[in-house]
């Protein structure tokens, strides 16, 4: 395993972890842009732009893009979050250069007016589809309520209205600064030739102009507001709770992930035993999410209307108990085992490894081996979790509920 990094003159970071015993190779462009970098007027533009990159370049039609991926046999996709837009592919080693060159071409898209107009409908259908998923909807609404004006509360998809009003010109402007090479990382993992990737990067990306680009990084403690919305078609109560946590740059992020797992892993967590195993709730999970400069714990619970009070009382009791007694050695050990095996298994595949590699560079400009991360998890002590609970009391949460409409609504 060998790590390499280089920076082009225009600021594009090129990094790679070589693993000659890997049977595949993965490549990704990590663009440090997402809904938190949008204003309300262009809400949803990052995600829309991700779609537009597949519509082709000045030289390639959408059809040719499709065929080009097909020829390499690539497993490829892209995703947009609040903070990042990531384009990735996994291939047999002999196709890595071809697929990297293809992605590099797509990073300078044509953004044609006609394609923009047609794709608007696809985006609006996606918004409508997600609005119909109460588990998704409640989390997004809770995030907006929790961050209450902080850009981390911005919606990734945007609204039907914001998409309707968006112009191709606004998208091209946004693209012009946010996709500047100095705001992107090109990462590779697995079995590949570093020198050839470097010359390919210089050749394909070296002329992209450097631009001034920034992001506001404020920590946010969350609004702690409580709200509920009723919807006629719902039969279950969907509850989302969010509270503040550490950032992606904070060394305590590993302790925070373990705490989230102890409280709300799918199976074997406090939520599991107190809420799911005894059928008080149908689902009850918590996850910690580290972000750029801030972070949050997010719980999702689904239950019947009759059980809402009991669920919230139980959650309160779980949080009180944690604030008073912390966690046990045994549950920390179990959480470590689960987190470690998930980490190791994901990172064993070049495609999985790529994601950690890229995000560590985006957030920390740092290379961490899988072993570094394993060590960081292993050394978390019960006391580390305690002081985290002390500083970020889980009882200080924002709450959003989505459930059946009541008579007074």
Q: Which conformational region is residue 180 in: left (phi greater than 0), alpha (psi within -120 to 50 degrees), or beta?
A: beta
Task: Provide the β-strand partners of residue 303.
Answer: 237
Q: How far is the CB of 41 from a second copy (least distance, A)?
A: 32
Dihedral sign, Cα of residue 342, residue 345, residue 348, residue 349: negative
**Per CB under 8 A, 135 contacts a second copy:** no
**Per CB under 8 A, 91 contacts a second copy:** yes
**Per CB under 8 A, 302 contacts a second copy:** no
**Per CB under 8 A, 23 contacts a second copy:** yes
Q: Binder to a second copy among 336, 354, 357, 363 (CB under 8 A)?
A: 336
Interaction residues for a second copy, span 252-281 (CB under 8 A): 267-268, 277
Tokens of 400: 């959003």
**C-beta closer to a second copy: residue 21 or 233:** 21
**Per CB under 8 A, 351 contacts a second copy:** yes
**Per CB under 8 A, 216 contacts a second copy:** no
Radius of gyration over every alpha carbon of the chain, rounded to an integer in angstroms = 22
Q: Binder to a second copy among 78, 90, 241, 276 (CB under 8 A)?
A: 90
**Per CB under 8 A, 230 contacts a second copy:** no
Q: How far is the CB of 344 from a second copy (least distance, A)?
A: 5
Cα angle, residue 317 at apex, residues 312 and 320 outer, rounded to 5°: 125
**Per CB under 8 A, 67 contacts a second copy:** yes
Interacting span for a second copy (CB under 8 A) from 59-67, 129-137, 249-257, 389-397:
59-67
Dihedral sign, Cα of residue 278, residue 322, residue 137, residue 362: negative
Interacting span for a second copy (CB under 8 A) from 90-98, 148-156, 171-179, 232-240:
90-98
Q: How far is the CB of 340 from a second copy (least distance, A)?
A: 6
Q: Count other C-beta atoms under 10 Å from residue 101's C-beta.
A: 17
Task: Say if strands 184-190 and 13-18 run parallel, antiparallel, or are unpaired.
Answer: parallel
Nearest Cα residue to 252 out of 385, 369, 394, 393: 385
**C-beta closer to a second copy: residue 42 or 275:** 275
Interacting span for a second copy (CB under 8 A) from 157-165, 169-177, 224-232, 348-356:
348-356
| 110 to 52, 57, 117, 120, 329: CA distances (angstroms) | 9, 4, 14, 16, 56
CB 371 within 8 A of CB 344: no
**Per CB under 8 A, 114 contacts a second copy:** no
Q: How far is the CB of 391 from a second copy (least distance, A)?
A: 27
Q: Binder to a second copy among 338, 368, 386, 404 (CB under 8 A)?
A: 338
**C-beta closer to a second copy: residue 192 or 363:** 192
**C-beta closer to a second copy: residue 74 or 107:** 74
Q: Binder to a second copy among 344, 368, 376, 382 (CB under 8 A)?
A: 344
How many residues of this chain interact with a second copy, rule: CB under 8 A?
38
**C-beta closer to a second copy: residue 211 or 346:** 346
**Which positions touch a second copy (CB under 8 A)?**
21-24, 63, 66-67, 69-75, 90-92, 95, 267-268, 277, 333-334, 336-342, 344-345, 347-351, 370
């Amino acid at each position: 395993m060998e790590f390499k990094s280089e920076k082009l003159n225009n600021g594009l970071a090129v990094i790679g972890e070589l693993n000659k015993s890997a049977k595949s190779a993965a490549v990704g462009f990590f663009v440090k842009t997402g809904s938190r970098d949008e204003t309300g007027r262009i809400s949803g533009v990052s995600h829309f732009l991700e779609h537009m990159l597949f519509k082709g370049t000045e030289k390639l039609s959408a059809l040719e893009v499709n065929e080009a991926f097909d020829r390499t046999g690539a497993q490829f996709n892209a995703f947009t979050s609040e903070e990042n837009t990531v384009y990735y592919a996994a291939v047999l080693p002999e196709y890595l250069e071809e697929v990297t060159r293809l992605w590099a071409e797509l990073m300078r898209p044509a953004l044609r007016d006609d394609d923009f107009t047609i794709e608007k409908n696809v985006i609006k259908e996606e918004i409508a589809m997600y609005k119909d998923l109460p588990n998704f909807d409640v989390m997004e609404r809770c995030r907006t309520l929790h961050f209450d004006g902080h850009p981390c509360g911005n919606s990734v998809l945007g609204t039907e209205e914001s998409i309707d009003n968006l112009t191709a010109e606004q998208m091209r402007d946004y693209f012009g600064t946010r996709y500047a090479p100095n705001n992107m990382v090109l990462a590779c993992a697995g079995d590949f030739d570093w020198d050839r990737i470097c010359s390919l990067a210089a050749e394909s990306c070296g002329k992209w102009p450097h631009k001034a680009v920034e992001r506001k990084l404020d920590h946010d403690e969350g609004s702690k507001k409580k709200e509920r919305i009723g919807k006629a078609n719902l039969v279950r109560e969907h509850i989302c709770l969010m509270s503040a946590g550490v950032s992606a740059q904070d060394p305590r992020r590993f302790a925070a992930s373990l705490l989230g797992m102890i409280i709300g892993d799918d199976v074997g967590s406090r939520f599991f035993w107190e809420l799911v195993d005894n059928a008080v709730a149908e689902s009850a999970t918590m996850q910690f999410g580290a972000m750029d400069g801030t972070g949050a714990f997010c719980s999702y619970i689904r239950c019947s209307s009759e059980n809402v009070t009991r669920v919230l009382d139980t959650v309160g009791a779980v949080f009180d108990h944690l604030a008073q007694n912390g966690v046990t050695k045994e549950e920390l050990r179990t959480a470590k085992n689960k987190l470690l095996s998930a980490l190791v298994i994901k990172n064993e595949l070049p495609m999985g490894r790529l994601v950690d590699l890229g995000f560590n560079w985006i957030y920390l400009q740092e290379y961490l081996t899988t072993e570094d991360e394993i060590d960081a998890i292993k050394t978390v002590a019960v006391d580390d979790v305690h002081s985290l609970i002390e500083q970020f009391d889980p009882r200080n949460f924002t709450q959003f509920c989505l459930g059946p409409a009541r008579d007074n609504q």
